[in-house]
């Protein structure tokens, strides 16, 4: 057992030497620093030549001159001003610019035709099919807007906005109640 105790002492002494070496390495002083502990990596400072002191301010520059508020300020310069252009003002900009030349009047076939009111929106109903029989008194069109199903004959008003003009085998003609926006709707079957 004496050999075992001796081996334990040697291992313990080795561990103490390693611990002392680690502590000495962690606690060694940095170059040029009076500190003996190294807590965290320091932020690198620029060399002393690059550092400059802030400029000195004279005490008379710190006084508040309230009398200057009462002085008259110069009037703004006249001339064209466009807040949407980012450019320096020049002496030419201070002089009023001449008005732009009038637009040429175009006549003949290349003259622009004034646009009328916009067309009405398209009719959004879908033509599902027709129903015919002796008791119905003619052909009845079946229409849907995706939520409701509507039935109507030629001349009937659907949804208070549309009039059925003509019912065919594979299509239907509809228009707005006021007579504008006539549209042919093909049979979709869905």
Q: What pLDDT, on the 0 to 100 scale, is given for residue 56? A: 80
In angstroms, the CA 160 to CA 135 distance is: 25
Q: What pLDDT, on the 0 to 100 scale, is given for residue 109? A: 61
Q: What pLDDT, on the 0 to 100 scale, is given for residue 36? A: 46
Q: What pLDDT, on the 0 to 100 scale, is given for residue 48? A: 56
Three-point CA angle 154, 160, 162, nearest 5°:
45
The tens digit of pLDDT for each residue in 150-166 reads: 999 999 999 999 999 99
Beta bridge partners of 133: 138
In angstroms, the CA 39 to CA 102 distance is: 79
Which H helix or E strand runs over 16? Answer: helix 2-27
In angstroms, the CA 68 to CA 84 distance is: 33
Closest to 141 (Cα-Cα) out of 123, 120, 121, 114: 123
Average pLDDT over residues 53-65: 78
Closest to 186 (Cα-Cα) out of 104, 126, 137, 143: 126
What's the pTM value of the predicted model, to 2 decimals?
0.39
Confidence grade of residue 25 (pLDDT, cut at 50, 70, 90): confident
Where are the domains positioned within the chain? 126-186
In angstroms, the CA 34 to CA 79 distance is: 67
Beta bridge partners of 143: 127, 150
Mean pLDDT computed over every residue of the chain: 79
Sheet containing 157-158, strands listed edge to edge, beginning at the edge strand earlier in sequence: 157-158, 162-167, 171-176, 183-186
Q: What are phi and psi of 27, to 5 degrees?
A: -100, 5
């Amino acid at each position: 057992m004496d050999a075992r105790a001796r081996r334990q002492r040697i291992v313990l002494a080795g561990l103490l030497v390693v611990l002392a070496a680690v502590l000495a390495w962690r606690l060694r002083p940095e170059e040029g620093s009076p500190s003996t502990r190294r807590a965290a990596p320091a932020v690198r400072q620029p060399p002393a030549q690059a550092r400059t002191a802030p400029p000195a301010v004279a005490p008379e520059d710190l006084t508040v001159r309230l009398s200057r508020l009462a002085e008259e300020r110069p009037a703004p310069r006249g001339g064209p001003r466009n807040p949407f252009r980012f450019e320096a003002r020049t002496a030419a900009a201070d002089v009023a610019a001449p008005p732009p030349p009038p637009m040429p009047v175009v006549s003949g076939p290349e003259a622009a035709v004034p646009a009328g009111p916009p067309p009405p929106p398209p009719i959004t109903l879908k033509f599902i099919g027709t129903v015919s029989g002796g008791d119905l008194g003619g052909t009845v069109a079946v229409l849907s807007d995706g939520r409701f199903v509507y039935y109507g004959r030629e001349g009937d008003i659907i949804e208070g906005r549309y009039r059925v003009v003509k019912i065919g085998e594979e299509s239907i003609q509809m228009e707005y109640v006021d007579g504008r926006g006539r549209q042919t709707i093909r049979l979709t079957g869905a």
